[in-house]
């Protein structure tokens, strides 16, 4: 059975899409491992299958995904139905709790994954391969070529980082002397065994690859579910990994709706699930899975500009990048900007507006919003403008001359000013801090004696993942950093929320379910647990006698 997954859309007039993706006139050939062309379209569609027990499989139902730029059905996804989950449940159930390898068993697999990482990094670093994936990312999660290529580069560097012996170093143990001769306590990093990974649409390659490989490095058997809108990217990446030596039975890959995946998790009972996505779904899964979960959930991310005004052009550029790159669809995108009153004499806001208005659909520096419609975003803007003192700074209009289907959003980069004192009122706070996963931000000013109120707003916002404190004033930085809790805080005059180094911790703080990604610390925290083995080998003391009962 075939159906349009996001139904109700009539295919619009065809619009040539190659100009959106190809930065040069040369033809981009698909790499040898690839099964789909990079220039897929309604007239040249692609298919996405599932992988279970080492076999690529279809399903009884295929859903057609709509091209986010023109509404044409262009990818057919074999989506697993609730009645078809048994092979996936069985596959996970076959993985023992001690995992596919651990510090005592199949240790050669640590070396195997070091080799797989090295080979994958080498292939992904080839210009034709990195460009293939960057263009493929653009087709399903439209963003500028620089942003898409950056995602591929981060992934390639991650694989380089964990080449050679670096995988087995993740399993490094420690020993503590016991109380007497022959006794010693050993701590080991131990896999969970069967695990699940659920990742969102906005980073089709980086998030799933980093979490998948981390799970595999530590000895787990994962089932991977990527948002179906973009799962074609990971399907192709898995084929690359298979070419580089990844055993096909080590990873299952499933396309399904949320209800089916929820049923699979409840029946298969993975020992740990990594979920990246909405806070609402995260909280439901935490209950359904009895707490066996790690989360990187949604965030309303904040930036505070301190009292030391400097480098206005640079700060404006960073604010534009943080709020509007990838059309604002980054987990760490700038959602609210607190501006110290000292900046009012500068041209900061006018410079941010000028930079935002340079963005065009032609080069995908602004593009489709995949989780909010244009109508819903404009309704939110209208609601905010009813707050006393609020005003539209720029944007607030639909993109012009586009063919983005109505199931998606098409909004110009937008900023709305809301007075701080109004934002603090209970009936306004929830509205002003509602996350819009698109090219939208709230802007407000504060006086120096209002910093406590600003930090109160930051403290009350739900699940903020990243924050930035733009200042070189050490006392101001100390005051803000000492009173705020979030995931990753960037501090200094160059601070930004979306431009971290490749190898850094990224994940929420203050929540015991919080997950990280990409670093050795994150991999060990998320994908392994602590196991203690206490050796007590003697000798038994000479002339030992049975003691009295104690």
Catalytic residues: 296, 331
- Interatomic CA distance for residues 486 and 300, integer angstroms: 10
Instruction: Identify any residues that bridge with 295 across adjacent strands, giving them in sequence order.
Output: 275, 514
Question: In the Cβ-directed half-sphere of 368, how many Cα atoms lie within 13 Å?
Answer: 24
> Terminus-to-terminus CA distance in the chain, angstroms?
71
Question: In the Cβ-directed half-sphere of 539, how many Cα atoms lie within 13 Å?
Answer: 4
- Interatomic CA distance for residues 436 and 445, integer angstroms: 21
548 token code pair: 């009295």
Which residues, in sequence order, are CB contacts of 397 under 8 Å at separation 6+?
411, 412
Which residues, in sequence order, are CB contacts of 100 under 8 Å at separation 6+?
106, 109, 191, 219, 220, 221, 250
Place of tokens 């379209």: 41
Element (H, E) at 197: strand 194-199
- Residue 216: which of 240, 192, 232, 235 has the closest Cα? 192
- Interatomic CA distance for residues 149 and 133, integer angstroms: 8
Question: In the Cβ-directed half-sphere of 238, how many Cα atoms lie within 13 Å?
Answer: 30
Which residues, in sequence order, are CB contacts of 334 under 8 Å at separation 6+?
301, 302, 303, 319, 322, 323, 441, 468, 497, 498
Which residues, in sequence order, are CB contacts of 39 under 8 Å at separation 6+?
17, 18, 21, 28, 135
> What is the dihedral sign for C-alpha 125, 131, 136, 140?
positive
11 token code pair: 């295919």
- Interatomic CA distance for residues 521 and 349, integer angstroms: 39
- Interatomic CA distance for residues 337 and 441, integer angstroms: 7
- Interatomic CA distance for residues 255 and 444, integer angstroms: 42
Assign 3-state DSSP to the chain and report helix, strand, coil percentages, each to 5. 35, 20, 45
């Amino acid at each position: 059975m075939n159906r349009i997954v996001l139904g109700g859309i009539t295919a619009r007039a065809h619009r040539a899409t190659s100009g959106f993706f190809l930065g040069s006139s040369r033809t981009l050939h698909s790499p040898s491992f690839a099964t789909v062309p990079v220039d897929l379209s309604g007239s040249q569609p692609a298919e996405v299958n599932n992988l279970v027990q080492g076999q690529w499989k279809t399903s009884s139902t295929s859903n057609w995904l709509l091209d986010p730029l023109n509404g044409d059905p262009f990818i057919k996804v074999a989506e697993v139905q609730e009645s078809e989950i048994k092979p996936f449940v069985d596959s996970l159930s076959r993985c023992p709790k001690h995992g596919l390898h651990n510090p005592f068993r199949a240790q050669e697999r640590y070396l195997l994954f070091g080799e797989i990482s090295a080979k994958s990094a080498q292939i992904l670093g080839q210009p034709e391969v990195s460009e293939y994936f960057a263009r493929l990312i653009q087709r399903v999660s439209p963003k500028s070529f620089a942003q898409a290529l950056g995602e591929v580069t981060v992934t390639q560097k991650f694989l380089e980082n964990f080449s050679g012996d670096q995988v087995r170093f993740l399993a490094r143990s420690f020993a503590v002397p016991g109380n007497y001769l022959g006794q010693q306590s050993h701590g080991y990093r131990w896999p969970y065994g069967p695990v699940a990974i659920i990742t969102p649409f906005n980073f089709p390659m980086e998030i799933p690859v980093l979490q998948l490989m981390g799970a595999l490095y530590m000895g787990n058997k994962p089932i991977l579910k990527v948002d179906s809108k973009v799962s074609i990217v990971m399907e192709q990446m898995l084929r690359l990994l298979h070419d580089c030596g990844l055993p096909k039975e080590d990873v299952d890959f499933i396309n399904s709706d949320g209800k089916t995946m929820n049923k699979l998790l409840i029946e298969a009972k993975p020992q740990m699930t990594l979920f990246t996505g909405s806070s609402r779904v995260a909280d439901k899964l935490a209950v359904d899975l009895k707490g066996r979960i790690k989360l990187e959930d949604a965030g309303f991310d904040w930036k505070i500009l301190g009292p030391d005004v400097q480098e206005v052009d640079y700060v404006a550029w960073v604010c534009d990048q943080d709020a509007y790159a990838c059309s604002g669809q980054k987990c760490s995108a700038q959602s609210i900007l607190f501006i110290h009153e000292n900046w009012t004499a500068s041209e900061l806001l006018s410079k941010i507006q000028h930079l935002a208005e340079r963005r065009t659909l032609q080069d995908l520096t602004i593009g489709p919003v995949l989780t909010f419609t244009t109508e819903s975003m404009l309704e939110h803007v209208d609601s905010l403008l009813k707050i006393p003192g609020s005003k539209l700074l720029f944007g607030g209009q639909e993109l012009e001359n586009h063919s983005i289907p109505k199931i998606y959003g098409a909004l110009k980069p937008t900023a709305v000013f809301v007075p701080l004192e109004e934002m603090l009122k209970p009936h306004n706070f929830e509205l002003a801090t509602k996350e819009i996963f698109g090219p939208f931000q709230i802007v407000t000013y504060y006086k120096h004696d209002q910093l406590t109120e600003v930090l109160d707003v930051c403290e009350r916002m739900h699940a903020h993942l990243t924050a930035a404190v733009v200042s070189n004033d050490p006392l101001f930085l100390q005051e803000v950093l000492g009173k705020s809790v979030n995931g990753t805080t960037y501090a200094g005059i160059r601070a930004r929320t979306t431009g971290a180094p490749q190898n850094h911790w990224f994940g929420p703080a203050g929540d015991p379910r919080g997950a990280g990604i990409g670093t050795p610390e994150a991999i060990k925290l998320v994908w392994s647990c602590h196991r203690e083995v206490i050796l007590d080998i003697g000798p038994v003391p000479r002339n030992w006698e049975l003691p009295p009962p104690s």
